[in-house]
Amino acid sequence: MLDLLLKIQQDREIIKKAEKVLKERPNNDFMKEKKKQFDEKKSEYKNVDSKLKMVKESIEQFEKKLQDVRKELKQEEGKLYGNMKYDLKFINTLEKSIKLKEDEIKDLEEKSLDMMCEEEDLSKERDVLRKKLIDIKDEFYENKKFGNDKIIETKKNMEEAEKDILNCEKKLPPRLLDKFNELCSVKGTGAAKILNGVCSGCRMKVSAVTIDEIKNHKNIVYCDNCGRIIYYGGDSK
């Protein structure tokens, strides 16, 4: 009979822990943190992606401008070298214009090169952020699945514990069950084992008188320290 009481206690503890798990939800704080991390990285990714698009647009504009200036330079060089008239003023004007366009081309090429370097850096940064987002997402759903599996397992354990309790209670004498439940409501647990003369409920040594009562198969024996049931020798009615 004592084993049945201890089994009920064990199953009640399983139910208590299960209710706590179901209330708190497994990995709830972890999932919230991962969601926060994902949102932060997503914002960073969008920011970098936006910058990258702007840089690419700037590169295209520089390339278009370079094409236009090079075309104008070629036209002016053609005028300069193809001019058969010796017009000093015209030649000086063309040379100055050519020099300005050469300087402009050099400046545009340098800026375009800088933009290309920036584009490469931003592209690498975006790739790193994309991978990080994928990793966080995978981790999120992996733990979500684990959490769902944990809930299913917890509910199953709780249902099994409830069935075990009902089966054990059916086998117990009503008077013993009532006394056990009364002790549980006061102390949390109502039964305990005696191991080497020590009560497993209060961790204290029981008296020799109590040990004799157990040996003499007294009806119900209580721990003389904590009052928990430590032996039942009555009938099963």
Same domain, 70 and 105: yes
Across the range 29-53, mean pLDDT stands at 93
Residue 235 has pLDDT above 60, yes or no: no
Which pLDDT belongs to residue 106?
94
CATH number of domain containing 13: 1.10.287.1490
pLDDT at 237: 42
Q: Return d(Cα 219, Cα 98) in angstroms, integer.
A: 118
- pLDDT over 90 for what percent of the chain? 58
- pLDDT over 60 (residue 140): yes
Domain containing 221 equals 175-232
Q: Which residue has the higher pLDDT, 212 or 181?
A: 181
Tell me the average pLDDT of the chain.
Answer: 89
According to the model, what pLDDT value does residue 1 have?
Answer: 79
Residues 154 and 224 in one domain: no
Whole-angstrom CA distances from 32 to 133, 134, 143, 144, 169 are 15, 17, 11, 11, 42
**Could you say which of 172, 190, 222 is where a domain stops?**
172
At residue 219, does pLDDT exceed 90?
no
pLDDT bin (cut points 50, 70, 90) of residue 213 is confident
pTM for this predicted structure: 0.56
Q: Is the pLDDT of residue 208 over 80?
A: yes
pLDDT of residue 83: 64
204 lies in the same domain as 91 = no
With beta carbons less than 8 A apart as the criterion, state whether 156 and 14 touch: no
Q: Assess whether 156 and 223 both reside in one domain.
A: no
- In this structure, the answer to whether residues 203 and 150 fall within a common structural domain is no
* Structural domain count, the chain: 2
pLDDT the model gives residue 28: 74
Average pLDDT of span 138-144:
87
Asked whether the predicted pLDDT for residue 205 surpasses 50, the reply is yes
How far is residue 196 from each of residues 70, 189, 193, 203, 205, measured CA to CA in Å? 100, 20, 10, 11, 8
Q: Give the residue with greater pLDDT, 120 vs 210.
A: 120
The reply to whether 237 falls in a domain is no
Is residue 37 a part of any domain in this protein?
yes
- The yes-or-no verdict on residue 33 having pLDDT over 70 is yes
- Domain match, 70 and 129 both: yes
pLDDT of 48 higher than 50: yes
